[in-house]
Structure 1
Amino acid sequence: MNKLRILALFTVFLAGCSKPSEQIMVATAANVQYVMKEIQQEFEKESGKKIEIVVASSGKLTTQIREGAPFDVFVSADTKYPEEIFKNGGSDREPEVYATGTLVLWSKDIPETDLNPEVLATGKVRKVAVPNPQTAPYGQAAVEALNALKLYEQTEKKLVYGESIAQTAQYITTGSAEAGFNALSIVLSPEMKGKGHYIIVDSSLYKPIQQAAILLKHSADSPKKASSEQFYQFLYSAKAKAIFKKYGYR
């Protein structure tokens, strides 16, 4: 998607919004989308300012930012992409870690007593849903865990990749895949809670999923500079931390 097309899409998106120049545009990794809904409510109530949230995988959002999408803040699922943006001049400030994520193995029908990584290599499971490891940090963590358990070669042909963690959740909850890897924050969300069974994957099997946010340079050149800064600081407030903790973030 070229730069002009992305800008056109956002122009159409903002056209239906009141006072679009005052709205804070927040690029949000899919695993954080439900948390961000609550943070959005709290921030708007406290500040009286409006936020628009755009959800996709961290990799896709980074591509959009690189091509000129008018985001003010980027809330990523890792540190790699925000650091890349900073090094390429997309921000005057280094990214900051706001939470550490937790990987889970999730299934619609396999009971919790039988749910473990080893079951993925058996005939009980034909498809394993995984977020695309090329663009989604939780997908990369899932592959690392499978390799650490020496299960990757046995399960490689069963892996079905979702474009984001949200699409992967859809594969799991609809039964399109018998099991899959996802973020604890997704399974604990009100929209997904109770849909199937899950176990937390041993965190020693993958690199810590440190998640960072970055205040983008776009906001520095707009009327929203002060509002964007205010929202960015709110992400690290005690109120926001309590919401992240509620969704299983460390």
Structure 2
Amino acid sequence: MIKLITISSACLALTLTACSKEQTAELVQSDTDNATEQSQTLRIAAAANLSDVLPEIIAAYQADKTPPAQAIDVTYASSGKLYAQITSGAPYDIFLSANQEFPAKLAKEKLDNAKSADEATHESFTYTQGQLALYSVNKSLKGLNTTTLNALLMSESDSKITIANPELAPYGKSAQAYLQSQNIFDTLTEQSRIIQAENIGQAFQYAHTGNVDYGFVAQSQLTAIKATPEQFYTLAPDAYPPILQDGLVISDTTAATDFSNYLRSPAGQQYFSDAGYLAIE
């Protein structure tokens, strides 16, 4: 009987040792996985109009984390160009567009290409709404309204007006839609007065450097430089198609989901409001 008890005790000790080693291995693997994810850089593809506000949001997000959040790398370009890069395999974790169309298309494509029904996919989300403004460093825009704005643009036959590429940049698309709704886009085009920029960032540079007389730009860009009242006119939000800006989490990393949630949090939304965007519900 004593021998049996001794053997049973030995077997129990071996079993507990094996379990302990297995649990330790699982914990080590879990810690390794967490450390690996923490050390990886979070890659964000962001619309050009976000270049002024996103760095502040990222800094606040990283400062709010304990331990500090992982490194974040941002590529700014037109939404259409970023969409093309992502569909070609660019390794981004989050796509922040200046419209709703590109994230929705990308989400559908990812769902259609999912290898199984269980494969994780994400839905697009709205994180802010942009405002369109006319900007000039050459001419005073003080006291303008819709009627006088159209008269101003049409009366100066030699003035140049820049808009972002409507095919790639949502701000350019809304600017074109506004000019068309006022029945002046075709005339301006025929007079070769519209200078097309690749994205909203380039459109702002054309106007800011005085290379063109007027530029349809993002209100956030003007807020960032503290433009004076006579330098810009903010168009009424109902005067052009809403510039609802959507995003999409592309990868399955925890950090990508966490950052996208921060964008929509009260703290994240306050940064957008302060930067010249409209609040989202």
Query: TM-score of the superposition, structure 2-length normalised?
Result: 0.76
Query: Which residue of structure 1 lines up, in the alignment, with residue 138 of structure 2?
Result: 109
1:174 aligns with 2:203: no
**Quick one: which of 87, 92, 95 aligns to 1:66?**
87
Number of the residue aligned with 2:117: none
Deviation at 1:123, TM superposition (A): 2.1
In structure 2, the CA distance between the partners of 1:43 and 1:175, relative to structure 1 (3 Å rule), is same
**Size of the alignment, in residue pairs?**
224
| Runs of 4+ in structure 1 over 4 Å off | none
Which structure has the highest helix share of the two?
2
8 Å CA contact 1:125–1:179 kept in 2: the answer is: no
From 53, 57, 60, the counterpart of 2:74: 53
Q: Is the 8 A contact 1:29 1:56 kept in 2?
A: yes
Task: Give the structure 1 partner of residue 107 of structure 2.
Answer: 86
Larger Cα Rg: Structure 1 or Structure 2? Answer: 2
* Aligned-partner Cα distance in 1 for 2:78–2:151: 27
Once the two structures are TM-superposed, the CA of residue 29 in structure 1 deviates from its matched residue by 0.3
In the superposition, relative to structure 1, how do residues 205 and 73 fare at CA in structure 2: closer, same or farther (>3 Å)? same
Residues 1:118 and 2:182 are matched in the alignment: no
Match of 2:162 among 129, 137, 146: 129
| Deviation (angstroms), 1:148 | 0.8
Gap runs ≥5 in structure 2: 1-36, 112-119
Q: Is the 8 A contact 1:108 1:175 kept in 2?
A: yes
Amino acid in structure 2 at the alignment position of 1:32: L
Give CA-to-partner distance per residue, 1:61-109, whole Å, 9 cap, x none. Answer: 0000000111000111010000010011178111011111110011112
Aligned to 1:26: 44
Cα RMSD after superposing both structures: 1.9
Secondary structure at 2:64 match in 1: helix
Find the partner of 2:62 among 26, 41, 44.
44
Aligned counterpart for 2:240 among listed residues 206, 217, 225: 206
Aligned to 1:10: none
What is the rounded CA distance, in whole Å, between the counterparts of 1:244 and 1:165 in structure 2? 17
Can you list the C-alpha shifts for 1:165-209, whole angstroms capped at 9, x where unaligned? 1111110011111001011011111xx323771111122221111
The answer for the alignment partner of 1:226 in structure 2 is 254
Query: What are structure 1's unaligned runs of at least 5 residues?
Result: 1-18
* 3-state secondary structure, aligned to 2:139: coil
Distance 1:169 1:87 in 2: 32
Read off the aligned partner of 1:144 and give its amino acid letter. Answer: A
Helix, strand or coil for the counterpart of 1:188? helix
Post-superposition offset of 1:23: 0.9
C-alpha distance in structure 1 between counterparts of 2:132 and 2:202, whole Å: 16
Cα distance in structure 2, aligned partners of 1:20 and 1:62: 26
Answer yes or no: is the 8 Å Cα contact 1:76–1:213 preserved in 2: yes
Alpha-carbon deviation of 1:117?
3.5
Q: 1:64 to 1:21 in 2, by over 3 A?
A: farther
Cα contact 1:125–1:178 (8 A) shared by 2: no
Which amino acid is 2:96 matched to?
Answer: V
Contact kept in structure 1, 2:142 and 2:233, CA below 8 Å:
no
The 2-side partners of 1:21 and 1:147 are apart by: 49
User: What is the letter of the counterpart of residue 199 of structure 1?
Assistant: Y
How many Å separate the matches in 2 of 1:113 and 1:100? Answer: 25
Shift, 1:236, TM fit: 0.8
TM-score normalised by structure 1 residue count: 0.85
**Structure 2 partner of 1:163:** 198
Q: CA deviation at 1:124?
A: 6.3
What is the distance in 1 between the residues matched to 2:131 and 2:182?
17
Identify the residue that residue 12 of structure 1 maps to in structure 2.
none
Tell me, in whole angstroms, the C-alpha distance in 1 between the residues paired with 2:150 and 2:135: 10
